[in-house]
Every structure is written in C-alpha cells, then in structure tokens.
Amino acid sequence: MSAEENKPKITPLGLCQAGQDTVQEITQKTHEMFQALKLTQLPNGTVTGTRNAQDRIMKLKDLLAKMDPLFKRLRVIYTECQKHTSDLEQYKGNLVPLMSNSGNGGSDKENPPKSAREQVICLS
C-alpha cells in the first residue's frame, strides 16, 4: 500500500467541521483576550503596578501568538472547501428553493414576515 492509499479522504463535511472547531477556538481566544484587556490597568509607577502591567502584556502577546496559526488554519480550510465545492455553484439555484413573488400572491410589503409565535399558531 502506498502513502496515498493510507491517507484519509478529505470531505467537505470534514472541512466544515474542522472550520467550525477552528472558529470556536478563535472565539474562545478572543474572549480570553478581551477579558485580559478588561482587567488590565495602566502602570501607576509602583513596582507591583509595572510588574502586573508587564504580565498582562505578556499574556496578550501569548494569546495573539496562539491566534495567528488558527487564522492560517482557517484560511487553508476555507481554500480547500472552496476547491471541493466549486462544482456545486452550477446547482446553487436547484439546491435551495427560492420563493418567488408570484407564489405568495403579492409583494413582501403587503405580507410582512410573521413572528415565530404567529407561525407556530398558524401551524396548530
């Protein structure tokens, strides 16, 4: 068996799941960064204040360094996903049914979209 046969097949679904996980990691790191910024105080001239500010700066630099590869990974995932799904562009109109104005008996201004509660009441 060659190396290509042992290599797992990359599917668009797997790429999307990896992209979702990566976005979740980026969101978590961004949240941590904003928490660190929120707690950061400007150095006030004391030794402890300067040390605390330096610690916060180092933590922010560390978080930024961890986020850079995540954005690179997300870009690679996006590019690969585009390659795998580029042939679906011709079917875009057929995959998702679009509502036409002739189907609802008038324009959208005459029939505004219903709230979720109204839609549930109409279904029952």
34: in domain:
yes
pLDDT band, residue 44 (cuts 50/70/90): confident
91: in domain:
no
Mean pLDDT of 98-124: 55
Say how far apart CA 33 and CA 60 lie, in whole Å: 6
104: in domain:
no
25: in domain:
yes
Q: Is 43 helix (H, G, I), strand (E, B) or coil?
A: coil
Does residue 102 register a pLDDT over 80? no
- Please return the burial class of 77, using the count of CB atoms within 10 Å of its CB with bins 0-12, 13-18 and 19+: buried
Mean pLDDT of 66-77: 94
Q: Give the number of domains in the chain.
A: 1
116: in domain:
no
- 33 close to 58: Cβ distance less than 8 angstroms: no
Q: What is the DSSP letter of 100?
A: -
| Per-residue pLDDT, 50 | 85
Look up the domain containing 42 and give its range. 9-85
